Chains A and B, each alone.
Chain A
Amino acid sequence: MLETLFALLSFFLLAGSVTILLARDPALYTTGFLAVMLAVAGLFGLLDQSFLFLAQVMVGVGAVVVLTTIVILTINLKEKELPKEPTRGPWLVLGALVIAPFGWMLYRGLVAATPDHFPVLKEGFGTVQAMGSVLFRDWVLPFEILSLLLLAAMLGAIIIGKKEQSYDLES
């Protein structure tokens, strides 16, 4: 049962990633992105991370994917406005040749560093309660820094997105 679910989720994940990599049509790669985010949420669920599953669905899908979709739909690219990518094929082959060995190395390293089975869990792993107590006991400073980062990102997005600007890239 879990194996079937894993196979299904990894199929959606890889199909979405490959769609993002290859698609020219904005609607196609937006759908691929949605599939990737949902599949990652499902994989969090398979790893017994119930709170991460919730956060991924609410923040990842509910905020990031929706925002991305709205922006892509607002810009509404026509076929002739899409960038010409004449060198895409050669770069894909060349990039794959360069990146694949590093990926293989990373995979072997990760596998070598961990046991080959999942340990039995204590009751309450990954629940909201357990996550909250760890977050606010051991990770308070990173949490506060993250809130500063979000504030800075919000200010930056507002300033970049303003219509009137005192500085001008054209001059």
Chain B
Amino acid sequence: MTLSPENFFALGVLMLCLGALGVVARRNLFVLYLSIEVMLNGVNLILATFARVRPDMGGSVIALLMIGVIAAEAALFLAMIVQLYRRRRSVDSDAYDRLAQRNWS
């Protein structure tokens, strides 16, 4: 067996599906965050495979920019989790329902 694009696409799609499943099924905020990271990395893998198949460096550059976006997302999400934990002593995603209940008067 030689490596073909199908192998890499299968891995990327599996990562996307497992990440989406984590977002749907879990309530621990850290697991939600890590699931989102897994999904983003799956997209990154698919982009890099496309760049290798075409072959066109544009896809690699988009994947590189995605790595930067992943870093930005990590900083914000972790800051939000820490802030929520400080206020509510909980990492349950249901604790965020406060955001929906605020009285905007």
Contact = CB atoms under 8 A, between A and B. Distances in A.
Interface of A: 2-3, 6, 10, 13-14, 17-18, 20-21, 23-24, 26, 29, 32-33, 36-37, 40, 43-44, 46-49, 51-52, 55-56, 59-60, 63-64, 67-68, 71-72, 74-75, 77, 81-85, 88, 91-92, 94-96, 98-100, 102-103, 106-107, 110-111, 114-119, 121-122, 125-126, 130-131, 134-135, 138-139, 142-143, 146, 149-150, 152-154, 156-158, 160-161, 169-170
A85 B8 contact: no
Contacts, number: 243
A18 B6 contact: no
Interface string B36-57: 0110010011101111110101
A130 B55 CA distance: 13
A68 B77 CA distance: 10
A20 B19 CA distance: 9
Given A49-B48, A107-B13, A131-B60, A20 B31 contact: yes
Interface of B: 1-11, 13-22, 24-28, 30-31, 33-35, 37-38, 41, 44-46, 48-53, 55, 57-58, 60-65, 67-76, 78-83, 85, 87, 89-94, 98-99, 102
Given A21-B35, A32-B34, A82-B28, 4 more contacts: A17-B15, A21-B21, A60-B41, A107-B10
